[in-house]
């Protein structure tokens, strides 16, 4: 039987493993930071009607410039952004891939600050961009001094920042992002996948006058759209022109565009779920210390908690109870998504019993 070792794949891909969070049909799935709340029925009905209309024109290629979607996204984001400032793709991972295809690649490098979103380094590898890791400060925070020192030391072409950071939930002050931008002549990308769950300012406020600053977002989390696959980015129109050079033709299907535009028309109803998710997140942060664990402050829809004697052992015990959370590879830590009130009840009760 043929194996990967028998094929003439790129040398830099040999020995690598594909990304793959566990997918198991357990009753309580709190491992990949999905929005576990269902889409409101009235909103779902409108989305289905939009999809039905789009199907009638599915014999034609989709709008290559996804004009209506860019208009909807710019209106949703505000901050004076126009459709010309917006890019979108099949999930924020593809957005990041476009960025690295346009500004990274062989002979170029990207700086990141692990522990951070694991796909940052994986997408870098897939595009032939050298991944350069740098240390964080205590409690996984990042100061302007730490970021600037790493930028000046490593001299990479791109800098990736994540706010709130995944898997730690740590927010990032705007002065850190501004300092990073001033310290490099390259691209600075801020991954704001969990921005709707944070109470602080967004890097969108820094875009004006900073043509090398990019802010990526997703509809997977706050909008409960993980299965639709729609990520997007705000930046200077010149950046959008650069991304056009590397995207595949008609990369966003008519159905994806229709579903996203319909959901954005109901943004207030969709985002009503966010407050409940934040309540469950804060509830876990408050309850975990009494169970002997050490939760980190979080501005996202998940909680990373330490004080776990054996991460794998507790992960397995919870899994056997029908609860799937995430072992992110940080010793003595596990990460749990903030779900519904009922899911939080089940998780905390099981943790109290098993701990």
Domain ranges, ordered by start, for the chain: 17-39+268-354, 41-265
Distance CA 56, CA 53 (A): 5
Read off the pLDDT of residues 110-123 as tens digits, 9 standing for 90 and up.
999 999 999 999 99
Any bridge partners for residue 189, and if so which?
Answer: 160, 214
Sheet of strand 130-133, all strands in order from the earlier edge strand to the far edge: 86-89, 231-234, 213-218, 187-191, 158-162, 109-112, 130-133
Longest dimension (CA), the chain: 59
Q: What is the CATH architecture of 41-265?
A: 3-Layer(aba) Sandwich (3.40)
Which numeric CATH code is attached to 17-39+268-354?
3.90.1150.10
Token reading at 166: 């995944």
Question: Dihedral of CA 295/297/299/304: which sign?
Answer: negative
Read off the pLDDT of residues 241-271 as tens digits, 9 standing for 90 and up.
999 999 999 999 999 999 999 999 999 999 9
pLDDT 10s per residue in the chain (355 long)?
888 888 998 888 888 888 777 777 899 999 999 999 999 999 999 999 999 999 999 999 999 999 999 999 999 999 999 999 999 999 999 999 999 999 999 999 999 999 999 999 999 999 999 999 999 999 999 999 999 999 999 999 999 999 999 999 999 999 999 999 999 999 999 999 999 999 889 999 999 999 999 999 999 999 999 999 999 999 999 999 999 999 999 999 999 999 999 999 999 999 999 999 999 999 999 999 999 999 999 999 999 999 999 999 999 999 999 999 999 999 999 999 999 999 999 999 999 999 7
Distance CA 207, CA 191 (A): 14
pTM of the model: 0.95
Q: Are strands 86-89 and 231-234 parallel, antiparallel or unpaired?
A: antiparallel
Token reading at 18: 């594909």
Give 135-140 contacts, CB < 8 A, sequence gap 24+.
Answer: 139/170, 139/296, 140/115, 140/165, 140/168, 140/170, 140/296
CA distances from 99 to 102, 232, 238 (A): 5, 11, 13
pLDDT score recorded for residue 24: 78
Q: Which residue has the tokens 């009235």?
A: 42
pLDDT score recorded for residue 194: 98
Q: Are the C-beta atoms of residues 269 and 43 closer than 8 Å to each other?
A: yes
**Angle at which helices 92-103 and 118-126 cross, to 10°:** 50
pLDDT score recorded for residue 3: 85
């Amino acid at each position: 039987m043929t194996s990967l070792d028998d094929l003439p794949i790129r040398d830099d891909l040999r020995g690598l493993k594909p990304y793959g969070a566990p997918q198991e049909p357990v009753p309580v799935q709190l491992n990949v930071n999905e929005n576990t709340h269902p889409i409101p029925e009235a909103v779902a009905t409108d989305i289905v009607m939009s999809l039905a209309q789009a199907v009638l024109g599915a014999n034609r290629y989709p709008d290559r410039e996804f004009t209506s979607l860019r208009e909807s996204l710019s209106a949703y984001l505000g901050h004076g952004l126009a459709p010309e400032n917006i890019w979108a793709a099949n999930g924020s991972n593809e957005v990041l891939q476009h960025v690295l295809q346009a500004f990274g690649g062989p002979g170029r490098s990207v700086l990141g600050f692990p522990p951070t979103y694991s796909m940052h380094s994986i997408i870098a590898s897939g595009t032939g961009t050298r991944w350069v890791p740098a240390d964080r400060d205590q409690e996984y925070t990042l100061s302007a001094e730490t970021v600037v020192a790493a930028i000046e030391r490593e001299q990479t072409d791109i800098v990736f920042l994540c706010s709130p950071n995944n898997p730690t939930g740590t927010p990032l002050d705007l002065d850190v992002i501004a300092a990073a931008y001033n310290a490099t002549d390259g691209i600075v990308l801020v991954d704001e996948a969990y921005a709707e769950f944070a109470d602080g300012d967004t890097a969108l406020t820094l875009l004006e006058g900073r043509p090398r600053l990019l802010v990526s977002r997703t509809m997977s989390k706050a909008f409960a759209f993980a299965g639709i696959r729609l990520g997007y980015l705000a930046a200077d129109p010149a950046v959008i022109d650069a991304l056009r050079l590397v995207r595949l033709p008609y990369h966003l299907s008519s159905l994806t565009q229709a579903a996203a535009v319909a959901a954005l028309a109901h943004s207030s109803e969709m985002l009503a779920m966010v407050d409940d998710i934040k309540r469950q997140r804060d509830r876990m942060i408050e309850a975990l210390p009494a169970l002997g664990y050490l939760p980190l402050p979080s501005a996202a829809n998940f909680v990373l908690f330490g004080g776990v004697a054996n991460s794998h052992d507790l992960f397995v015990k919870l899994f056997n109870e029908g609860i799937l959370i995430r072992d992110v590879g940080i010793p003595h830590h596990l990460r749990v998504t903030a779900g519904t009130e009922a899911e939080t009840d089940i998780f905390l009760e099981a943790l109290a019993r098993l701990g």
